Amino acid sequence: MSKVRYLGLYCLCNAGMLDTTEALRKLYGSFNNIMSVLGKHRNEMTAVYLAKSYCLPSLTYGCEVWNIGQSALHKVNVAWNACCRRIFCGFYRESVKPLQYFCGVLPVSYFVHRRKLLFRKSLFLSENAILASLSLD
């Protein structure tokens, strides 16, 4: 499939869907850099803070306008959960939702839906009539 890059997001031409492989690559690259700098005897909360500050924005860039399927959103969730497991040295079958809750980090699917809702709300409350009409679609 051919892809088109627009504002850093890759869209699949035939499907009209967003390709998340580049965002996942950026997530893993920045996360591996953070973990290698912190070393083996790291503070977990520092690693969570750095991952939340540097990796999550690169993963969710432009998520307000994402048009992706459930399988792609699942892949993004799996990648973020794998990062959380690696910080806390968890096994691949363990749930990280309690860890994310106590660390103040939302699962990525919740984060994406929250950002989409806030974006639509800002469009709706806009004084620009055209932007407000877009939020009703």
Residue 45 CA to residue 49 CA, distance in Å, equals 6
What predicted TM-score, i.e. pTM, was given to this entire model?
Answer: 0.80
* Burial 71-91, CB ≥16 within 10 A → b, else e: ebbebbbebbbbbbbebeeee
Q: pLDDT tens digits for 98-116?
A: 888 888 888 888 888 888 8
Task: Give helix then strand counts, H and E, for the chain.
Answer: 7, 3
pLDDT tens string 49-89:
999 999 998 888 888 877 777 888 888 899 999 999 999 88
Q: Where are the domains of the chain?
A: 20-134
Q: Note the pLDDT tens digit of each residue in 83-100.
A: 999 998 888 788 888 888
CB within 8 Å of 48: residues ≥ 6 apart: 84, 87, 103, 105
Residue 120 in this model has a pLDDT that exceeds 90? no
